[in-house]
C-alpha cells in the first residue's frame, strides 16, 4: 500500500513537470478554448458548413432533402479533429487537451496510468506527447462521472438489452464553472410510447436547475440532443426506466460546457441549432413506416432555439419531404371527416397539441375517416406551407402536447434569410 502511494506521488509530481493531469477537483483554472471555425457543437445537419459571411452568397444555398437526410446530424460534431485547449493556472503553465479517438469519440489526454485510475479507457496516444493517451469515459447503470466527455451506454451495448431495470447515472461537474450539459443521443432506441404515454420505457433527467424543465421522452430518438442548465445545480441524474420486454439500447454522449464560452447556448432552450439551414423534428418522429409509428410523447412543452447567424434577419420553415410518402406533419387531434386529406399545418386555436412559430399556433387540420384507428398519426397534407418569422428577437419554436391524442409530429426544414 505504501509503495502504491509513493508510486502515485512520484507519478503526479513527474506529470506536473511534464504533461498535465487535470484532476476532477482541479478548480479555479482559467481555460482558454479554441474552437473549430465551423462550430462543431452546432446541432444542425449543416453544422459543418461555415455561416456565410456574404448574405448574397448564402442566399444561394438551399436545403437538399436527400443529402440532408442521409447525414447523421449530431455525429458530424464528432468528426472534427482534436479540439485543442490550453489551460493555465497561476502557478505553472500547463496544457490539457481534448482528443478524438480513432473511432471518433471524444476524450481527454491523460497519463495512461492516471486514465485507468479514473476508470477511463486509453484509446491511443495523444498526438504531440509521448506519455499521455486519449482517455475515454464510458459509464453504465449506477455509475458516476465527473469528466468533460462521458458516454452513457445501456447494459450489453451495442447489443440490445431486453430486461427490466432502472438504469441511472449521476454526472458531477468537472469544475465549479460548468453551466450546461449537452446530451447527444448517438443511439437512443427504447420502447415506443403507447398513445403518447411513455408507459414502458422513459428517459428522464433530474437534479438540474430548478426552473429548467426537461421533458420525459421515449421511443426512437437517435440524432436528437438536449441542453440542460446546471449552473445552480449539484449532481444531475440521467435515468432510463426500462419496463417490460423490449430490444432497447442507448449510447448518450454527455458533454460538460463551461460558463462564458461560446459553447453555451441561451438558457431554457432544450434544443439549439446553428447554421443557415437544417431540419427540426419532433421526438420519436423517425420511427417505423407510414402506419406503424406511435408519434411524439404526451405532456411535452419545450422550446427549440435557432441561432440568428450574422447577416441573417429572418427564418423560413417548410415541411420536409418524407421518405415514407406520408407528408411530415401531424400535430394534435385531427377529427375524422370524409376528406381524404388534412389541410395542415394550419393556424388555428389548436385545443390539443401545437407548435408556436413566430407567435402563431400551428396544428393539423382534418384526416380521412378511414384512418381513425391510427388517431391522426397518418396525416397526408396538401399544403407544403412556408412560414417566415422575421422577429427582431430570437428564433424560437415551442412545441406543446397534452396528455391525450398524440400524432406523428413535425419535420420541418428551416432556412435563414439574409438581412435586406
Binding site for ligand NAG (CB under 6 A): 194-195, 197, 199, 325-326, 340, 368, 371, 378, 380, 403-404
- Within 13 A of 346's CA, how many CA atoms are on the CB side? 18
* Cα–Cα distance, 309 to 160 (Å, whole number): 40
Closer residue to Ca ion, CB minimum distance, 164 or 301: 301
- How many Cβ atoms from other residues are within 10 Å of residue 130's Cβ? 8
Residues belonging to the chain? 420
* Cα–Cα distance, 378 to 368 (Å, whole number): 9
Closer residue to ligand NAG, CB minimum distance, 251 or 406: 406
- Number of residues counted as binding Ca ion (CB under 5 A): 5
Name the grid cell of 195. Answer: 398513445
Site string for Ca ion, 349-378 (x = CB under 5 A): ---xx-------------------------
Closest separation in Å from C-beta 298 to ligand NAG = 6
Closest separation in Å from C-beta 142 to Ca ion = 35
Closest separation in Å from C-beta 402 to Ca ion = 4
CA distances in angstroms from 12 to 9, 15, 45, 86, 145, listed in the order given: 5, 5, 42, 19, 21
* Cα–Cα distance, 418 to 420 (Å, whole number): 6
- Within 13 A of 39's CA, how many CA atoms are on the CB side? 22
Closer residue to ligand NAG, CB minimum distance, 67 or 291: 291
Closest separation in Å from C-beta 290 to ligand NAG = 6
Closest separation in Å from C-beta 364 to Ca ion = 11
Name which of ligand NAG, Ca ion, none residue 405 binds, using a CB cut-off of 5 to 8 Å depending on partner kind: Ca ion
Contact 371, 341 (CB under 8 A): no
Closer residue to ligand NAG, CB minimum distance, 172 or 288: 288
Residue 36 three-state SS: coil
Nearest to 73 by CA among 342, 230, 273, 257: 273
Closest separation in Å from C-beta 415 to ligand NAG = 26
Closer residue to Ca ion, CB minimum distance, 278 or 332: 332
Q: What is the DSSP letter of 194?
A: B
Site string for Ca ion, 11-50 (x = CB under 5 A): ----------------------------------------
405 binds Ca ion (CB under 5 A): yes
Closest separation in Å from C-beta 400 to ligand NAG = 16
Closer residue to ligand NAG, CB minimum distance, 180 or 327: 327
Reported in sequence order, the residue ranges of 55-148 that DSSP labels E, i.e. its strands, are 85-88, 93-94, 98-100, 106-111, 121-125, 132-136, 138-139, 144-145
Closer residue to ligand NAG, CB minimum distance, 36 or 328: 328
Name which of Ca ion, ligand NAG, none residue 303 binds, using a CB cut-off of 5 to 8 Å depending on partner kind: none
Beta strands 354-357; 395-400: pairing state? antiparallel
389 binds Ca ion (CB under 5 A): no
Closest separation in Å from C-beta 133 to ligand NAG = 49
Element (H, E) at 16: helix 2-17
Residue numbers at the binding site for Ca ion (CB under 5 A): 352-353, 401-402, 405
Amino acid at each position: 500500500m505504501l509503495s502504491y502511494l509513493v508510486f502515485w506521488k512520484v507519478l503526479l509530481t513527474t506529470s506536473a513537470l511534464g504533461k498535465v493531469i487535470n484532476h476532477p477537483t482541479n478548480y479555479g483554472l482559467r481555460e482558454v478554448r479554441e474552437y473549430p471555425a465551423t462550430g462543431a457543437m452546432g446541432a444542425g445537419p449543416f453544422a459543418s458548413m461555415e455561416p456565410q459571411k456574404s448574405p448574397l452568397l448564402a442566399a444561394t444555398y438551399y436545403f437538399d432533402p436527400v443529402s440532408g437526410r442521409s447525414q447523421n446530424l449530431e455525429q458530424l460534431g464528432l468528426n472534427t479533429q482534436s479540439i485543442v485547449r490550453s489551460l493555465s493556472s497561476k502557478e505553472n503553465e500547463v496544457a490539457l487537451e481534448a482528443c478524438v479517438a480513432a473511432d471518433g469519440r471524444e476524450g481527454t489526454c491523460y497519463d495512461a496510468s492516471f486514465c485507468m485510475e479514473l476508470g477511463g479507457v486509453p484509446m491511443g496516444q495523444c498526438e504531440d506527447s509521448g506519455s499521455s493517451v486519449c482517455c475515454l469515459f464510458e459509464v453504465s447503470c449506477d455509475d458516476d462521472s465527473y469528466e468533460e466527455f462521458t458516454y452513457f451506454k445501456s447494459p450489453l451495448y451495442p447489443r440490445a438489452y431486453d430486461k427490466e431495470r432502472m438504469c441511472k447515472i449521476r454526472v458531477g461537474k468537472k469544475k465549479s464553472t460548468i453551466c450546461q450539459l449537452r446530451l447527444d443521443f448517438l443511439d437512443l432506441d427504447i420502447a415506443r410510447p403507447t398513445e403518447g404515454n411513455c408507459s414502458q420505457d422513459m428517459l428522464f433527467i433530474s437534479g438540474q436547475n430548478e426552473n429548467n424543465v426537461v421533458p420525459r421522452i421515449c421511443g426512437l430518438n437517435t440524432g436528437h440532443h438536449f441542453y440542460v442548465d446546471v449552473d445552480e445545480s449539484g449532481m444531475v441524474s440521467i435515468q432510463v426506466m426500462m419496463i417490460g420486454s423490449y430490444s432497447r439500447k442507448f449510447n448518450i454522449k454527455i458533454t460538460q460546457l463551461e460558463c462564458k464560452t461560446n459553447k453555451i447556448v441561451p438558457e431554457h432552450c432544450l434544443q439549439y441549432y446553428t447554421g443557415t439551414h437544417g431540419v427540426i423534428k419532433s421526438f420519436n418522429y423517425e420511427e417505423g413506416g407510414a402506419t406503424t409509428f406511435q408519434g411524439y410523447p404526451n405532456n411535452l412543452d419545450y422550446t427549440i432555439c435557432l441561432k440568428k447567424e450574422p447577416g441573417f434577419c429572418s427564418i423560413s420553415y417548410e415541411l420536409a419531404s418524407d421518405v415514407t410518402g406520408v407528408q411530415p406533419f401531424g400535430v394534435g387531434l385531427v377529427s375524422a371527416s370524409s376528406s381524404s386529406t388534412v389541410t395542415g399545418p394550419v393556424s388555428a386555436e389548436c385545443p390539443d397539441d401545437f407548435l408556436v412559430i413566430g407567435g402563431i399556433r400551428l396544428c393539423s387540420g382534418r384526416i380521412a375517416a378511414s384512418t381513425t384507428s391510427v388517431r391522426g398519426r397518418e396525416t397526408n397534407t396538401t399544403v407544403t406551407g412556408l412560414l417566415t418569422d422575421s422577429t427582431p428577437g430570437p428564433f424560437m419554436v415551442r412545441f406543446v402536447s397534452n396528455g391525450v391524442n398524440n400524432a406523428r409530429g413535425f419535420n420541418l426544414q428551416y432556412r435563414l434569410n439574409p438581412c435586406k
